[in-house]
Amino acid sequence: MCYISYMKLEIERKFLVKDDSWKNNTGEGILYKQAYLTSNPDRSVRIRRAGEHAFITIKGPTTTGGSKLEYEYEVPISDTDVLFTLCQEGSIEKTRYEVLIGNHTWEIDVFEGLNKGLIVAEIELNSVDETFEIPEWIGEEVTEDKRYINSKLIENPFTTWSK
């Protein structure tokens, strides 16, 4: 098994998806399950199973513009069952799809469970001022809205929000 680790400054922007036209440009999605060993405004430690791969990820606080330090390490998928038992209560289930627009890959997360009905698109950038093409299926930007952070969606699921 090949283990991958890296540390980087993650610069991510998040948007709501306003229609299903993105589905015309994507393939089969990957099922994700993730839970948190710890999550607070200063740091989070996440366990994630993504298809046939599993990761432990440590993230620092998000700054203005959606940047944060991130360290990710691939772990044996067989370890995730035990690691999930160590996590805080609750998990995120979603299917992730990728859509290539220009030079960027958009990740579209279609949430299930208590967050069913929520569809969020994310784009990772190399700098906070990097320009990118915004497809017509992209809606409101929610990068700065803490409710859309996955660890917060466990605490306050989308289906409990008042419309």
* Domain positions in the chain: 5-160
* 19-68 pLDDT tens trace: 999 999 999 999 999 999 998 878 899 999 999 999 999 988 877 666 78
Lowest mean pLDDT among 9-13, 81-85, 147-151: 9-13
The residue annotated as part of the active site, out of 3, 6, 36, 148, is 36
Which runs of consecutive H residues, i.e. helices, occur in the chain? Answer: 80-85, 150-155
List the structure tokens of 107: 């990740």
Residue environment code for 113-147, b if the CB has 16+ CB neighbours within 10 A, otherwise e: bbbeebbbbbbbbeeeeeeeebbebbeeebeeeee
Provide the β-strand partners of residue 6.
Answer: 72
Write the CATH number of the domain with boundaries 5-160.
Answer: 2.40.320.10
- Specify the pTM: 0.90
Query: Looking at the predicted structure, is the pLDDT value of residue 3 above 60?
Result: no
Does the active-site annotation cover 36?
yes
pLDDT digits (tens, 9 = 90+) for 75-126: 999 999 999 999 999 999 999 999 999 999 999 999 999 999 999 999 999 9
Go through 73-112 and write b for each residue having 16 or more CB atoms within 10 A of its CB, e for each that does not: ebbeeeebeebbeebeeebbebebbebebeebebbbbbbe
Query: Quick one: tokens of 76?
Result: 């044996």
